[in-house]
Amino acid sequence: MQHQDHEPLAESPPIELQRQQTERLLRAWAPAKGWRYWSEVNNSVVGQWYTGLTIFFLAYGGVLAALMRIQLSIPNNKFMTAETYNQVFTVHGSVMMFLFAIPIFEAFSIMFLPQMLGARDLPFPRLSAYGFWAFLMGGMTLCLSLFFNAAPSGGWFMYPPLTSKYEPGIGPDIWLLGFSFIEVAAIAASVELIIGILKSRPPGMRIHLIPLYCWYVLVAAAMILFAFPPLITGSMLLELERALNWPFFDVSRGGDPLLWQHLFWLFGHPEVYIVFLPSVALVAMIVPTFARTPIVGYSWIVLSAIGTGFISFGLWVHHMFTTGLPGITLALFSAASQAVAIPTGVQIFCFIATMLVGRVVNSLPMMFVFGALATFVIGGLTGVMVAVASFDFQAHDTYFIVAHLHSVLIGGSIFPFVGATYYFYPLVNGKKLSERLGRIVFWCLFIGFNVTFMPMHLTGLRGMPRRVYTYSEGLGLETLNLISSVGAAILVAGFAVFFWDLLRNKDQEPLSERNPWGAGTLEWLQEMPGKPWGVRSIPEIDSRYPLWDQANIVRDVDEGRFFMPDAEEGKREMLITSVIDAKPVQCLRIPGPSYIAFWAALFTGGAFILPTFKLYWAAAACAAIATGVILRWLWNGTAIIPEKERKYIGHGVEVPLYASGPDSVGWWAMLITMLAVITAFVSLLFGYLFYWTLDRDFPPPGMPGPGWFWPTLGTAMLMGSWALTNLVRKWNRQDDARLVYGGLGVSCLLAIAGGAAMIAGPYLNGMDPTQHVYAATIWLLVIWTAIHAGLGLIMNAYCIARRAFGRMTAKYDIDIHNVGLFWHFVAITAVATEIVLVVFPILK
């Protein structure tokens, strides 16, 4: 059956109707005023906060870099002490990676994705706001620690035993706990972005017509789900060792510091591509605009994005070539590291081909694109060099690596980011940045970058190790370092001009014309300045470049000739469409301004960050309050039963206002979140298998184990709870209240008993988690499972309350669907724990 296209209304709606429609839309979407401004959750507002804060962190990390270059400009410099230098380079690396490079893509996407999709907002506005507040709190904690001489100093990848035994202060705790908090926020953002791209496209924007930016962000967000959890697990292990003396990385008690390196780089290498893909996505938006032609090789670029996403998970050991792994392991990872160059190269050829096919218009954003491609290719080539294990043995931990990674990150992230800022800035407040200042910025950054980092290749090959606070005279390093420091000064000048251009008062300047660059993609529909509703009416899309190919689309959108031109009920609404062909399937009501996300972030932040200062009871109190706040958020703000079943959205189309199960965005959010959670659990299993494989005495002979009885009993009860919860879903549909309440009640009891039985295994058998890594790992596995049982308990009790208060009915049953889905993951966790606890010791 051919897809039915909906053409815009042939006639303009009457002027009076248009006026009423815009008035109602404005009222529904009006930003909160005064102090209430900070309760706003609309993507364009939150996106601006997010981007602004990220740029602040960029400046902060940049100042630290400049301080390092001052210290290294001459040999035996006394500008900084070794300890200060250690803190400065650790915070520089951590800030640039965790507080700039990754979040800038989330910030940009939250701000611009709805515009690119012709959507009013993303499906979970409060989740975006929650992510922003979490990011602010976690990031500021790390940045401020430097002023109290309390920052971490073990390098941005925090290798134990340096960070477990030899750094007694609170620095590493701030890093481990604060960043785990930010990583949770990043996972929240990726849930938002994935569902946004798959489910909130305009009608007709089929999967092969979506802007390439969306493909890249989809892949990067999916990568976050699988890359961040290993780091969260690793951070948890390291923090447990530091705080409670559980010996995960302590060799004398069976631990192994190499496990940290595995978990860290399982995150760390994909992370490079999580940074790079969204940046190259910006390039993919800018190039067709200025080449005045559609992108060449759309499918090939999609291949690049997906292929890079996958292969980047098979590279982590190339950061560990010098740790004494078997030769064949090095060969396998070296081969994969070479393979990733293929998809990375393909997209660059696509961009070059697009420029050749079209007629490139000279413009500022394109200069940054050229700068990005040139710089990134250099970094990519040195990357191929260090992917050769034998070369890496020489270059490892020298300034050659510093030069390589900065070429990749500055070419692959900074240049596209600055170029995109000049390109997209009119969408933020309707004004353009200065062309003249922009050119100064470009040349300062381009020249400054090369003068700083090119000599570092040689500095490294001459043997200068990274992370030393000074060096002696007569080693042939003086001139090279001085040149690098001069280059850094030029870079600083460039950034200073850039920040000035962003911050200077532009009140006197005229508004930019609409679509100032003559682009073809939907975000340039926006009026100057933009309206809070995002898009006046939601267009039907027939092309990858609708502004070029669909005649009168701007007029038709503005006059409300497309879908949902009105807010009849005065509510914020958006359109949900199908994944492949973007057919309208639901009108989703989304929440307006509220402080609830702020409070939720504040108290979850307390739960994460207060343990740094050993304030465990305060942290527990925060966790309890956070749970209460989140329940309140869910109770009042989600799965609201609408006043009518369906809503007319125009063009003869009527869609439901409520959907549950796999049809609802909430169900997908639960699924995606739980994929991340189960990945963290798999990382923990990886830890167990790591010890189990490498250590002949794991489990150690003579040491008590958890036994078979309690884990098996616990697993059986949790499986019972799982089965009952999912039966309740069916019974609820049949509206059998007795079975629903009875089933949920029994499943709650089983969850409590099951969780307790899990804990009973190691507890009653007298396992001491500080004695040996075996006991510590078993304890952690059962606690993990018990926490899941506890969450399941809360959810089931929540469903009882929802039904009792009439907020969940036989027909409106989002809650029980999502809870049933959660319990699938509890069941998987319990069974895997059972296998590890009971079966694996027998296999040995």
Site residues (CB under 8 A) for other proteins? 1-3, 5, 204, 206-209, 294, 298-300, 302-303, 306-307, 309-311, 313-314, 317, 326-336, 338-339, 342-343, 541-544, 578-581, 583, 693-694
**Residue with smaller CB distance to other proteins, 152 or 343:** 343
Dihedral angle, C-alpha 340, 345, 347, 351, nearest 10 °: 160
**Residue with smaller CB distance to other proteins, 385 or 756:** 385
CA contacts within 13 A on the Cβ side of 151: 27
We find the least distance from the C-beta atom of residue 266 to other proteins, in angstroms, to be 11
**Residue with smaller CB distance to other proteins, 527 or 581:** 581
* CA 749 centroid distance within chain: 36
We find the least distance from the C-beta atom of residue 326 to other proteins, in angstroms, to be 4
**Residue with smaller CB distance to other proteins, 158 or 336:** 336
* Those residues with Cβ within 8 angstroms of residue 650's Cβ, 6 or more apart along the chain or in another chain: 537, 562, 563, 564, 565
We find the least distance from the C-beta atom of residue 286 to other proteins, in angstroms, to be 20
Give the C-alpha distances (Å, rounded to integers) separating 671 from 189, 240, 660, 744: 14, 28, 13, 21
DSSP 655: E
CB 462 within 8 A of CB 561: no
**Residue with smaller CB distance to other proteins, 311 or 826:** 311
Q: Which of 184, 186, 267 is nearest to 221 (CA)?
A: 186
**Residue with smaller CB distance to other proteins, 375 or 577:** 577
First vs last C-alpha separation in the chain:
58
- Name the one residue in this structure whose structure tokens are 């490498």: 694
CA angle 238, 692, 843 (to 5 degrees): 150
**Residue with smaller CB distance to other proteins, 3 or 632:** 3
Q: Which of 268, 319, 278, 234 is nearest to 679 (CA)?
A: 234
DSSP character string of 282-300: HHHHHHHHHHTSPPS-HHH
CB 348 within 8 A of CB 381: no
As a whole number of angstroms, the distance between CA 121 and CA 808 comes to: 26
CB 236 within 8 A of CB 677: no
3-class DSSP state for residue 471? coil
Identity of residue 641: I
As a whole number of angstroms, the distance between CA 275 and CA 105 comes to: 7
**Residue with smaller CB distance to other proteins, 155 or 314:** 314
**Residue with smaller CB distance to other proteins, 142 or 302:** 302
**Residue with smaller CB distance to other proteins, 222 or 477:** 222
**Residue with smaller CB distance to other proteins, 65 or 547:** 547
We find the least distance from the C-beta atom of residue 309 to other proteins, in angstroms, to be 8
We find the least distance from the C-beta atom of residue 541 to other proteins, in angstroms, to be 8
In the 3-class helix/strand/coil scheme, how is 140-159 assigned residue by residue?
HHHHHHHHHCCCCCCCCCCC
**Residue with smaller CB distance to other proteins, 297 or 745:** 297
We find the least distance from the C-beta atom of residue 715 to other proteins, in angstroms, to be 25
We find the least distance from the C-beta atom of residue 5 to other proteins, in angstroms, to be 7
Q: Which of 443, 421, 565, 559 is nearest to 503 (CA)?
A: 421
**Which stretch of DSSP H or E encloses residue 727?**
helix 709-733
We find the least distance from the C-beta atom of residue 327 to other proteins, in angstroms, to be 5
As a whole number of angstroms, the distance between CA 125 and CA 158 comes to: 34
Q: Which of 300, 280, 295 is nearest to 369 (CA)?
A: 280
- Name the one residue in this structure whose structure tokens are 């992108």: 295
**Residue with smaller CB distance to other proteins, 215 or 731:** 215
**Residue with smaller CB distance to other proteins, 301 or 838:** 301
We find the least distance from the C-beta atom of residue 219 to other proteins, in angstroms, to be 10
Percentage helix, strand, coil for the chain under 3-state DSSP, each rounded to 5:
70, 5, 30
We find the least distance from the C-beta atom of residue 548 to other proteins, in angstroms, to be 12
We find the least distance from the C-beta atom of residue 209 to other proteins, in angstroms, to be 7
We find the least distance from the C-beta atom of residue 393 to other proteins, in angstroms, to be 14
In the 3-class helix/strand/coil scheme, how is 550-567 assigned residue by residue?
CCCHHHHHHCCCCECCCC
As a whole number of angstroms, the distance between CA 578 and CA 814 comes to: 18
3-class DSSP state for residue 540? coil
- Name the one residue in this structure whose structure tokens are 């058998």: 765
We find the least distance from the C-beta atom of residue 268 to other proteins, in angstroms, to be 17
Q: Which of 623, 613, 492 is nearest to 145 (CA)?
A: 613
**Residue with smaller CB distance to other proteins, 331 or 624:** 331
Dihedral angle, C-alpha 638, 25, 201, 427, nearest 10 °: -120
**Residue with smaller CB distance to other proteins, 15 or 842:** 842
We find the least distance from the C-beta atom of residue 819 to other proteins, in angstroms, to be 25
DSSP character string of 474-509: TSS-HHHHHHHHHHHHHHHHHHHHHHHHHHS--TTS
**Residue with smaller CB distance to other proteins, 308 or 594:** 308
**Residue with smaller CB distance to other proteins, 206 or 242:** 206
We find the least distance from the C-beta atom of residue 580 to other proteins, in angstroms, to be 5
We find the least distance from the C-beta atom of residue 306 to other proteins, in angstroms, to be 6
We find the least distance from the C-beta atom of residue 549 to other proteins, in angstroms, to be 10
We find the least distance from the C-beta atom of residue 312 to other proteins, in angstroms, to be 11
- Name the one residue in this structure whose structure tokens are 């809650």: 815
CA contacts within 13 A on the Cβ side of 678: 18
Instruction: Sort residue 518 into left (φ over 0), alpha (ψ -120 to 50) or beta.
Output: left
